[in-house]
């Protein structure tokens, strides 16, 4: 069998890998996307109550790319966020109206976002392969690097100018590249499930810091709230063994009655929590994206938003200029060392600050008692009352840092990518 030679090969077909594939194909590159899962069955739908919390900046990015309208009707806006501490003073209330916006972010069902990205890849002409895993990587030769893919029909070789690893926290591609990674297993897991409150949530999200860890409730469609309940692993194990009624009673005691009685609305899933950070996300003709490069604690909901900015950052690093009509032009060689260095330098500050901030929120606020607790409470009250401080916190939550918006809005439509 002959070796295939796409410009870019992407390992991992989740939201980050799929968005990268669709946008890079629109930019004019030939893209092969390899996903370990099976192809979706168009005739059936699987129940999936997960929701992706997208900051306003991520929503704007998808809108610039022309993708937001197809999922907007199924999204639930986050109009306000209440940050509080259990058993202590201090509360911050962020409201989108104070910043001239309809929402600080949106919660999008996985059942809507995943099919949208699948269709985006199809429309952009991405060569997508399912039941495909990485079998090996060869050293770069000239302007290409060969990867070996194991699929349903055996093993095949692909030779690409750039290899993108978007295959998650464990990333077999990262291991094959030999890129070092810093890991910290938190003494905590997260229980994730839906509840239905007696009172309407009206687009309000809650982040409550407790002595166990953060407890978040995010507004969902149909009046549901998605719960992300962080606690030490033995505590999570105990709660999984409880009856549904016992678990809800304990949740109610820890969250309070701001939404009235909370009633069960779906199964419980448990996730181990770990911080993963690859200080150097690039290798010869290869690059780490998303969780393969950085996985952060779910506090403040920054993980996916950070990863989507990776995609925008890569497009920015590849951009070489623009035509008279605003259409961007891109590097002929996407895996050139200068391109990868530009990407790594551009993303370093954003990634580093989010990794540090989420780590502090995850660990630094768990045992804030005594004078430290009083100081924290006073600081939260000050942030709530001082408009400049509250505005800065809101901008951070909305992810409205600089993005190459002009370029994204002028990216060629599917099938119109520049050669």
User: Comparing C-alpha atoms, which of 211, 233, 220 is closest to residue 76?
Assistant: 220
User: Comparing C-alpha atoms, which of 206, 227, 228 is closest to residue 81?
Assistant: 206
pLDDT of residue 361: 78
pLDDT of residue 412: 85
| Pairwise CA distance, residues 240 & 235, whole Å | 9
pLDDT of residue 381: 43
3-class SS shares of the chain: helix, strand, coil, % to 5:
35, 30, 35
pTM over 0.85: yes
Q: Give me 2's structure tokens.
A: 């002959």
Q: Which residues contact 247 (CB under 8 A, 6 or more apart)?
A: 239, 268
- Could you give the residue ranges of the DSSP H alpha helices within 244-368? 244-255, 303-318, 337-363
Tell me: the pLDDT tens digits for 381-392? 444 444 554 455
Q: Which residues contact 91 (CB under 8 A, 6 or more apart)?
A: 82, 83, 84, 85, 380, 381, 384
User: Comparing C-alpha atoms, which of 337, 369, 412 is closest to residue 140?
Assistant: 337
pLDDT of residue 95: 86
User: Comparing C-alpha atoms, which of 231, 397, 230 is closest to residue 302?
Assistant: 397
pLDDT of residue 362: 79
Contact 267, 223 (CB under 8 A): no
Burial 74-107 (b: 16+ CB within 10 A, else e): ebbbbbbbbbbbeebebebebebeeeebebbbbb
pLDDT of residue 292: 97
Parallel, antiparallel or unpaired: strands 204-209 and 80-85: parallel
Contact 138, 145 (CB under 8 A): yes
Fold of 8-183+274-409: FAD/NAD(P)-binding domain (3.50.50)
| Pairwise CA distance, residues 356 & 354, whole Å | 5
Per-residue pLDDT tens listing for the chain (419 residues): 568 999 999 999 999 999 999 999 999 999 999 999 888 875 555 556 678 899 999 999 999 999 999 999 999 999 998 888 765 556 677 888 887 888 999 999 888 999 999 999 999 999 999 999 999 999 999 999 999 999 988 899 999 999 999 999 999 999 999 999 999 999 999 999 999 999 999 999 998 888 888 899 999 988 999 999 999 999 999 999 999 999 999 999 999 999 999 999 889 999 999 999 999 999 999 999 999 999 998 887 788 999 999 999 999 999 999 888 888 999 999 999 999 999 999 999 999 988 888 887 777 655 444 334 434 444 444 444 445 544 555 556 666 666 666 678 888 876 554 44
Q: Which residues contact 299 (CB under 8 A, 6 or more apart)?
A: 207, 213, 214, 216, 230, 358, 361, 362
pLDDT of residue 414: 63
Strand-pairing partners, residue 106, are 54, 77
Tell me: the pLDDT tens digits for 326-377? 889 999 999 999 999 999 999 999 999 888 888 877 776 554 443 344 344 4
Residue-wise DSSP of 92-157: EEEEGGGGT-S-SEEEEEHHHHHHHHHHHHHHHT-EEESS-EEEEEPPPBTTBEEEEEEETTEEEE
């Amino acid at each position: 069998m002959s070796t295939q030679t796409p410009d870019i090969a992407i390992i991992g077909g989740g939201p980050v890998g799929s968005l990268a594939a669709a946008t890079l194909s629109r930019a004019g590159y030939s893209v092969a996307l390899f996903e370990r899962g099976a192809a979706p069955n168009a005739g059936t739908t699987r129940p999936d109550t997960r929701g992706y919390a997208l900051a306003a900046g991520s929503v704007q990015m998808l809108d610039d790319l022309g993708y937001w309208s197809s999922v907007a009707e199924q999204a639930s806006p986050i109009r306000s966020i209440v940050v509080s501490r259990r058993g202590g003073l201090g509360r911050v209330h962020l409201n989108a109206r104070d910043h001239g916006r309809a929402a600080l972010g949106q919660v999008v069902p996985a059942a809507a976002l995943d099919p949208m990205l699948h269709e985006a890849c199809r429309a952009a002409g991405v060569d997508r392969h399912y039941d495909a895993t990485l079998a090996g990587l060869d050293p770069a030769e000239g302007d290409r690097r060969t990867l070996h893919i194991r699929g349903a029909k055996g093993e095949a070789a692909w030779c690409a100018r750039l290899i993108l690893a978007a295959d998650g926290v464990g990333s077999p591609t990262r291991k094959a590249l030999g890129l070092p990674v810093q890991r910290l297993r938190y003494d905590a897991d997260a229980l994730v499930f839906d509840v239905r409150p007696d009172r309407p949530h009206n687009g309000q999200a809650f982040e409550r810091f407790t002595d166990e860890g953060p407890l978040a409730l995010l507004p969902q469609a149909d009046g549901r709230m998605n719960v992300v309940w962080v606690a030490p692993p033995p505590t999570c194990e105990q709660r999984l063994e409880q009856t549904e009624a016992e678990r809800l009673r304990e949740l109610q005691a820890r969250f309070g009655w701001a939404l009235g009685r909370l009633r069960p609305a779906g199964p419980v899933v448990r996730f181990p929590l770990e911080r993963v950070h690859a200080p150097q996300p690039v290798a010869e003709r290869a690059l780490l994206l998303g969780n393969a490069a950085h996985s952060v604690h779910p506090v403040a909901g920054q993980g996916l938003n950070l990863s989507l900015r990776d995609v925008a950052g890569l497009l920015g690093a590849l951009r070489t200029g623009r035509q008279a009509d605003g259409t961007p032009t891109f590097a002929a060689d996407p895996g050139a060392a200068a391109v990868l260095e530009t990407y790594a330098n551009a993303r370093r500050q954003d990634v580093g600050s989010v990794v540090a901030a989420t780590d502090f929120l995850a660990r630094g606020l768990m045992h804030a008692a005594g004078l430290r607790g009083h100081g924290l409470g006073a600081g939260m009250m000050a942030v709530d009352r001082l408009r400049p401080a509250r505005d800065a916190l809101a901008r951070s939550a909305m992810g409205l840092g600089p993005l190459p918006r002009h370029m994204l809005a002028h990216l060629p439509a599917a099938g119109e990518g520049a050669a």
